[in-house]
Amino acid sequence: KYAGQTLITTNGETLLGSDDKSGVSEIITVMEYLISHPEIKHGKIKIGLGPDEEIGTGAKNFDVKDFGADFAYTVDGGPVGQLEFETFSAASLKVHITGKDVHPSGAKGIMINSMLIANEFQSMLPADEVPEKTEGREGFFLLTDEQGTIDHTDMSYIIRDFERDGLEARKNKVTEIVKKLNDKYGKGTVEIDMGDQYYNMYEIMKDHMDVVKIAEQAMKNLGIEPDEAPVRGGTDGSTISFMGLPTPNLFAGGENMHGRFEYVSEEAMEKAVDVVLEIIRLNSQKK
């Protein structure tokens, strides 16, 4: 589908960073265009550029009141046409396991290998509820990092579900596993830090679908078919929407994001700019 287009890539050894350098570039290009074309009528436009969106905490410091907008859009999506207003609800999990290291020659009945308990913890989670075995609206547990010795092991997880109740059920599952392992190996063997990151923005957006309709119309006016499938991820717009500023997500054009083979088409980025400009034009016609 990108035949004849200009692709921006890396040399295959690192990330491109299209997520979300593309979005930043597109937003700045829109502003440059409006400044150089003062004849274009528009209302007051606010711009926000947030650092470190990928760690999921930057938006928590966003000052919605000071920003002073009625609605907003993040430009953080993937291929042309993506229009996202339904996301995962998300939690993070850190697991800390304490073992007991002694010389192997006298280890019987004494040694507690924290790495083996970590394996046991993972095995007690549903084996088929992982990203590589789920799709659509199915949630998952994902082990993202593990560092361990006999004496101590740390594990990091992300937990995802489209339903708030489903997220709570997954967190309860973790708590049950911790209790079982501590009952087996001793109090304090397994400790966790678990907290919510963001919630499904549809809980807010369902009451502000007019904001989505403007973006839909903008895309259709440009011959772009909106793709409104629920996103198996999250955006800063999720957090910002719950702060009182409805913020669906527009495509930025990137593909294979978060990997060495990430790329973005210049033409896709141009279309993202056109969509934002068309949203601005449509909004200026509202009474």
Tokens representing residue 284 in the block:
């200026």
* Judgement on whether residues 74 and 215 belong to the same structural domain of the protein: yes
Neighbours of 2 (CB within 10 A): 13
d(CA 174, CA 91): 12
The pLDDT, as a whole number, for residue 23 is 93
Q: For 243, what's the count of Cα atoms within 13 Å in the CB-facing half-sphere?
A: 22
- Is 50 within 8 Å of 209 (Cβ atoms)? no
The pLDDT, as a whole number, for residue 235 is 87
d(CA 250, CA 248): 7
Domain final residue, candidates 198, 217, 243: 198
Domain final residue, candidates 174, 198, 222: 198
* Judgement on whether residues 100 and 228 belong to the same structural domain of the protein: no
Domain final residue, candidates 148, 169, 198: 198
**CATH code where residue 140 lies:** 3.30.70.360
Provide the residue count of the chain.
287
Task: Please say whether the dihedral angle defined by the alpha carbons of residues 19, 20, 26 and 30, taken in this order, is positive or negative.
Answer: positive
At 275, the amino acid letter reads V
Kindly report the backbone phi and psi dihedral angles of residue 157, in degrees, each rounded to the nearest multiple of 5, phi listed first.
-130, 155
- Tell me the three state secondary structure of residue 195: strand
Per-residue pLDDT of the chain (287 residues; tens, 9 = 90+): 899 999 999 988 888 888 889 999 999 999 999 999 999 999 999 999 876 666 666 788 899 999 999 999 999 999 999 999 999 999 999 999 999 999 999 999 999 999 999 999 999 999 999 999 999 999 999 999 999 999 999 999 999 999 999 999 999 999 999 999 999 999 999 999 999 998 999 999 999 999 999 999 999 999 999 999 999 988 899 999 999 999 999 999 999 988 899 999 999 999 999 999 999 999 998 76
* Judgement on whether residues 109 and 249 belong to the same structural domain of the protein: no
* Judgement on whether residues 66 and 96 belong to the same structural domain of the protein: no
- Is 226 within 8 Å of 219 (Cβ atoms)? yes
Tokens 């409006």, residue?
Answer: 34
In a domain, residue 1? The reply is no
In a domain, residue 213? The reply is yes
Tokens representing residue 115 in the block:
């790495």
When divided into structural domains, the chain yields a total of: 2
